[in-house]
Structure 1
Amino acid sequence: MLPFYKCFINCVCMNSLYIMYFWLGFCLTAPSIIIQYTFVNSFHLGVVELAEIAGVISVAWALKPFIGWFVDFLSNFISPRFQVSFSYCLSGFALSCINLCPRLWYFVLCLFFSSLFLAFADVVQDSILVRSLRNTSIDKRGSVQSFAWFCRSFGSILGCLLSALFSFHRNRFAIVASIHLGGVCCALNIRIHKNTYREKQLKIREIFCDKEVLLFSLLLFFFAYEPGDSSIFEYQLLKHYKVQPAVLAAAQIIAFGMIMVASALFQRYLRQYNAVGLVTVTSTVCLGVFVARNLFLTKRIDVPVNVFFIGNVAINTFFGHLSFLPLAVISTTLCKPGVEATMYAYFMALTNFSSIISRELSGILASGIGIKKQLQVSNEKYDWFYGICIVLDIIGIIVVFLLLVSLPIRTKEKREIELTEFDHELDEEDFNTIAEDKNDSDLVDIDLN
């Protein structure tokens, strides 16, 4: 075997979980633009229908706590790498079956199952990540999670390019389904230390009946519950402004590029900053961007549609991701040994569940105000819709601020094990030390004040 080929194989094995986050982003966004145009142009859906169907498909990600519990149970019998590989296989298979029936319900059903199996893969990958981060410093956790998001966003950029390139191709869903084979093969290279799963079993009451967990759960709900304008904005872009696939792809690529920039900035400079201030300031900026969309749709500001669309996406994604990263780091510190998949999936699913509520509220609110399939909507209707959303946004920001301030979490850790790669090896003596030090393995505390 040639030396450079050996180096390549070793690099793949050492960073296999990072590569799997790349494939996750790739597979999640590869069908995105294709689906948007199919819903609007082939099925002729309106604003309310788009919001409702988006909520239905997203239900798969709200099931992550149950998936996490199943993963923790299944990991006693089946290696996580096989779980991830099989999940990518089933997700691709669901997409490959999408053209067998031209009905809308069948189309949505295939998308739901594809999303469900990707959610399963995401839960397993997150559980491996959380286990790898145990007994490391808060600073190191932020660094590793930021780089995982960086890899996922890079994959998402390539997925957007693929989706735009094959938006109107006859075999577009078969092409998207085939890329899942990369995830199937790469997942088999994930290496997990045999001692990773030697943990005590906890009861459900011990897991969730905890002050920090309950307060943080409430925080995550209010972080993303408020209704948004994504369905309205998307519909107007596609039907009224006739935005082309290339522009949508460019916007999504820039969005994921902003996630990469935000992740790198957080990793390099912001991970040691006070989480309360960082989350509050960035959320307030996102609210300002939301107000700007109202000014654009009501024609109170005159900006070329492509410039506004791309600029709005870039700013909103950058600050939105910065507001989420501190919460992602906090969630890993609250995951208890032996139930990492269940708890981390539970925290992330709360955010997803709030997003589903947000989409459904958006559809109900738009329908109640009278914003449906019109290409021309009166400014009064837009103002009513955005006004209610802004009030709920402000309530959410205030509640999140108060909960972050009141979370009884401390900053200091008694010990730190440095993490250099996901499949790192620890000596038997290190594992014995970890097993003996119960206080350090049960819960890692951080300080938000």
Structure 2
Amino acid sequence: MLVSSSGFSKVKELVKEKILFGNEPSAELIAILTVYFVQGILGLARLAVSFFLKDELRLSPAQVSALLGIVALPWIIKPLFGFISDGLPIFGYRRRPYLILSGLLGTISWICLATVVHSPVSATIAIALGSLSVAVADVIVDSLVVERARGESQADAGSLQSLCWGASAVGGLITAYFSGMLLQYFSDRTIFLITATFPLIVSGVAWLIAETPINKDQTQSENTAIDIKQQIKQLRQAITQKSIWLPTAFVFIWQATPTADSAFFFFTTNELHFEPEFLGRVRLVTSLASLVGIWIFQRFLKTVSFRVIFGWSILLSSALGMTMLLLVTHTNRSLGIDDHWFSLGDSLVLTVMGQIAYMPVLVLAARLCPPGVEATFFALLMSVSNLASLVSYELGAGLMHWMGINESNFDNLAVLVIITNLSTLLPLPFLNWLPGSDIEENPANLPPAAVHCHEQSLIPEFVPELILRQPKPRKKEEGGF
């Protein structure tokens, strides 16, 4: 019996150190990681949604890009969800009920897509509801992990962040290939019905969250008034500090440059005739690449200066993004490189770079969180990035429309590629807005409590799988459509 107990302890310690990156296993940690994992496996329908918009609803590249901007709106108003979660408990609880409701809403949105959606307007509404579902769940787990991360030692900084990203990436990895393979045998609406079961898992694990009800000696209205007043005070103090809004402005500029994602998806499917099964292989490769990027950051780069990481990633990504021209002009064929192999290799390299480049954004954002308003403030910072993505998609849509790029005309796609990749260099003059030393530095005017608020994870916006490769470092698009 002693041997068995000793063996169990060794296995538990091995799991803690090697798999959980030093985090103590608990029911709540399992619940948190499950939410991220589910947001990863929702990727099962991402390709189905993309083909649904393109083939059944007959949307053009510009229309799809515009739609992506609209459905990103819930991620822009994430601070509202954090504000509600922190200040308006349901039955005395701030986290569990919102997770349950978010799961139910997600299931409803997928069922609607599978049954009653037959127009661009109804599709936009259904996808936006799904986006809202994931955004709400994301705010809740953001706050939970920020609270847990406050107790981490400086030596363990980055561990919880990497673990959360890893859970999402593993979920995406499991469904990556099947997202394309299933489209070879089933309709997109059938895949939507299958995917509708996944959000219910989030509702189920919500009960594992270790949460104490608010003080019952006060009325709910008194608690709410006190919480809201305190939230507003802390938010005002944080937002007015230069060390917070300058890095945030940099992230906005970095993410807001126009994207050619939608046009490139139409090009690879309509011009190069890539099949869904192959696109599933690409998703598998990029999911693996995302894990590699997480490991590289965790192992080698988590103490490297923000300016160094962003500066080099911007330069390298802009240069490598130009390789899209080889595919667009079919030069790769003259070089003896098959279209499929070229796309796979390009996707792998740029996904790794994109993951590495975005990890410091999350670390920086979470370190700025004052205690007591974790959900609200972290969501506020991250919503700036999501707003930038909306701007990016809408600028891309405008360029596609202006240049006459549609589902069959790609004559100006090469010019669009050049414009979008050169635009990624725009943030370089503003690198000094980022902290100059490593991530362990506490800016002189940073709120003292924020020093203990370590990194957290963000599951990016809920959009379709519209890219084979990423021409600039963008957050990995897991967690939904």
TM-score (normalised: structure 1): 0.84
Secondary structure in structure 2 of the residue aligned to 1:30? helix
Matching residue of 2:171: 155
Given candidates 176, 181, 205, the residue that maps to 2:236 is 205
8 Å Cα contact 1:61-1:119 kept in structure 2 = yes
Residue 319 (structure 1) aligned with residue 342 (structure 2): no
Matching residue of 2:208: 189
Matching residue of 1:403: 433
The residue type paired with residue 224 of structure 1 is Q
1:138 Cα deviation (Å)?
A: 4.7
* 1:132 to 1:31, Cα distance in 2 relative to 1, 3 A: same
The residue type paired with residue 144 of structure 1 is L
Matching residue of 1:428: none
The residue type paired with residue 59 of structure 1 is L
Matching residue of 2:145: 129
1:104 Cα deviation (Å)?
A: 2.2
1:405 Cα deviation (Å)?
A: 4.8
Matching residue of 1:38: 52
Measured in 2, the distance between the counterparts of 1:327 and 1:172 equals: 33
1:160 Cα deviation (Å)?
A: 2.9
Matching residue of 2:162: 146
8 Å Cα contact 1:72-1:339 kept in structure 2 = yes
Measured in 1, the distance between the counterparts of 2:372 and 2:435 equals: 29
Secondary structure in structure 2 of the residue aligned to 1:36? helix
8 Å Cα contact 1:17-1:125 kept in structure 2 = yes
1:63 Cα deviation (Å)?
A: 1.6
Show the 5 A alignment for 1:71-82.
71-75=85-89, 77-82=92-97
Given candidates 174, 180, 195, the residue that maps to 2:199 is 180
Given candidates 21, 38, 56, the residue that maps to 1:23 is 38
Residue 353 (structure 1) aligned with residue 377 (structure 2): no
Matching residue of 1:57: 71
1:324 Cα deviation (Å)?
A: 0.8
Matching residue of 2:120: 104
Larger mean Cα displacement after TM superposition, 354-363 or 251-260: 251-260
Residue 254 (structure 1) aligned with residue 285 (structure 2): yes
Given candidates 60, 83, 88, the residue that maps to 1:69 is 83
Given candidates 325, 335, 338, the residue that maps to 2:369 is 335
8 Å Cα contact 1:212-1:409 kept in structure 2 = no
Measured in 1, the distance between the counterparts of 2:209 and 2:288 equals: 26
Residue 441 (structure 1) aligned with residue 460 (structure 2): no
8 Å Cα contact 2:364-2:439 kept in structure 1 = no
The residue type paired with residue 81 of structure 2 is I
1:11 Cα deviation (Å)?
A: 5.8
Larger mean Cα displacement after TM superposition, 183-192 or 135-144: 135-144
The residue type paired with residue 57 of structure 1 is V
The residue type paired with residue 23 of structure 1 is V
Measured in 1, the distance between the counterparts of 2:154 and 2:86 equals: 24
Give deviations 1:416-447, integer Å, cap 9, x for gaps.
xxxxxxxxxxxxxxxxxxxxxx975254599x
8 Å Cα contact 1:88-1:184 kept in structure 2 = yes
* 1:367 to 1:329, Cα distance in 2 relative to 1, 3 A: same
Give deviations 1:297-320, integer Å, cap 9, x for gaps.
022332312112221211111101
Secondary structure in structure 2 of the residue aligned to 1:214? helix
Secondary structure in structure 2 of the residue aligned to 1:178? coil
RMSD, aligned α-carbons:
3.0
Measured in 1, the distance between the counterparts of 2:440 and 2:299 equals: 23
Secondary structure in structure 1 of the residue aligned to 2:433? helix
The residue type paired with residue 24 of structure 1 is Q
Measured in 2, the distance between the counterparts of 1:260 and 1:408 equals: 23
* 1:166 to 1:134, Cα distance in 2 relative to 1, 3 A: same
Matching residue of 2:101: 86
TM-score (normalised: structure 2): 0.79
Measured in 2, the distance between the counterparts of 1:403 and 1:305 equals: 40
The residue type paired with residue 56 of structure 1 is I
The residue type paired with residue 106 of structure 2 is S
8 Å Cα contact 2:307-2:436 kept in structure 1 = no
Listed as ranges, the gaps of 5+ residues in structure 1 are 414-437
1:412 Cα deviation (Å)?
A: 5.6
1:145 Cα deviation (Å)?
A: 0.1
Larger mean Cα displacement after TM superposition, 223-232 or 72-81: 72-81
User: Paired residues, what number?
Assistant: 413
Listed as ranges, the gaps of 5+ residues in structure 2 are 16-24, 216-222, 455-481
